[in-house]
Structure 1
Amino acid sequence: MSAESVRVGGRVIPLAHATSWVSSYFDADANRTAKKPWGYPFYDHMVTGTGPDTLGDGDLLASALLNAAPTIRGFRTLQSMRPILEAGLAAIPPDLTLEAAVTNGSHAARLAGLAEVLDRPDPDEEWADVKGTILMKTLHRKRPLFVPLYDSKVYACYVGPAQAGYPMARDDKRTWACFFTRLAESMIRDLANQPEAWSVLAAAAPADVAPLRLLDVVAWSAGKGGG
């Protein structure tokens, strides 16, 4: 892989394009006055008065700042999920990186502690209107070093034909817990295999931006056709 490009799943993007996306997205001053601002710093620095293991009602609405607002039913669902999700967060040390967890093999169980809530049967529609996008965008703020962000644009980068370089094949029978385990492994592979490119991208963002947040911005732009 050329140092002039960066790979995100099956998409290869010119590094200059990716750097421009990152620089624009994380321009806090511009976002505070723009008519159509990006989510930084509003999502990342949202003050809810809760600790790292607690999901207050404000935390359950955080995904709205990434254009993935829960419906009223979805908010009610997140409230119902709260004890399960808080237990899952408590099992993840705040300083644990996804890279370290993938390296030692502990990522699957910890991700399952969060994502398995989506795989539970819901004959009474108890978990209505909440899927992977809202769940991960809700949880990432609590564990930015560990929980990957996800939406349809990220899916477009990582799921596709193997012969075209995509790391994950489409599998409609795969559980959410399995999906996020595979996605995490693929993301860490991208970050670990291209340290020079990600160093360039990190330099274009504020120092407090985690690698998974950087990757999400690049994947979102590439997944919507920017790559």
Structure 2
Amino acid sequence: MTRSIGDLRNCADVHLARYLDPDHRTPRAFHAYDGPGEDPDPLTALDMLAPVLLSVRLTYADILPMFAKTGHHRDLRTAMEAVLTDPACRNADFLTIDLDNPRGPWARVRHAFEASYPVHNIKVVKVSKILHRKRPKLVPIYDRELYRYYVGPPTDRWTAHQDLWPLLQADLRVHQEWLTQVTARHQPENAAELTLLRAADIVVWEHQVAPTSACTDSA
């Protein structure tokens, strides 16, 4: 059965309120992770370590090779920087871009994902979590729970992410109106902007890992 974020209307508010509550006894990562830092364009070592706040395992040993002059790590850093320096990517929206345009913003993102394939311990999950902070309207967060919800059991295939993006984009387009409304209701004060893309990620992730009584009539 095809699953949709529309199935989570009943529990979306509960999930967002829980995730965005900085005073919860077990706080989530939004107030620590989200926000591009002082400047959304440069890619710093601290930016590359930020996914740790989303329970990703990264250490200095994974990041230092990014600053070598050559090698797979350096190629990955160059590909990620290309997303941030391309003017077309700065204001691009995942919901409206053409995922198949070989010269469009998504081609840059896809190249960054693919540049991770030969890099030890840094694959698409981590690249997406690095880039989402810097381009939160363009780059969705990729993780096993989102994949599980839309596609099925997670796979270790490096290319598995390609199965998700068209499904996610089509679904978010269909439900853009109510997602925009629920995102606005939960826009935090004195914090990073909650984008529709991040709100959708939070709703699905919370639904998967911490369902509540509000989910009883949902998917």
User: Same fold judged by TM-score > 0.5?
Assistant: yes
Q: Find the counterpart in structure 1 of residue 26 from structure 2.
A: 36
Q: Find the counterpart in structure 2 of residue 20 from structure 1.
A: 14
- Match runs of 1:80-91 below 5 Å: 80=73, 81-91=76-86
**Partners in 2 of 1:22 and 1:103 — Cα distance?**
28
1:70 deviates by 1.0
SS of the equivalent of 1:156 reads helix
Give identity over the alignment, percent.
Answer: 26
| Count of residues in Structure 1 that have an aligned counterpart in Structure 2 | 196
Q: Find the counterpart in structure 2 of residue 189 from structure 1.
A: 170
- Match runs of 1:1-227 below 5 Å: 7-8=4-5, 12-13=7-8, 15-27=9-21, 31=22, 33-45=23-35, 47=37, 49=38, 51-76=39-64, 78-79=66-67, 80=73, 81-91=76-86, 92-102=88-98, 105=101, 106=104, 108-119=106-117, 122=118, 127-160=119-152, 175=159, 179-180=161-162, 182-206=163-187, 208-224=193-209, 226=211, 227=219
Q: Is the 8 A contact 1:43 1:66 kept in 2?
A: yes
Structure 2 spans left out of the alignment, 5+ residues: 68-72, 212-218
Output the TM-score relative to the length of structure 1: 0.73
1:224 deviates by 2.7
Q: Is the 8 A contact 1:144 1:212 kept in 2?
A: yes
**Partners in 2 of 1:26 and 1:139 — Cα distance?**
20
Amino acid at match of 1:7: S
Amino acid at match of 2:115: V
1:202 deviates by 1.1
Output the TM-score relative to the length of structure 2: 0.76
Instruction: Classify 1:174/1:104 alpha carbon distance in 2 versus 1 (closer, same or farther; 3 Å).
Output: closer
Structure 1 spans left out of the alignment, 5+ residues: 1-5, 162-169
Q: Is the 8 A contact 1:52 1:94 kept in 2?
A: no
1:22 deviates by 0.8
Over the aligned positions, Cα root-mean-square deviation in angstroms equals 2.8
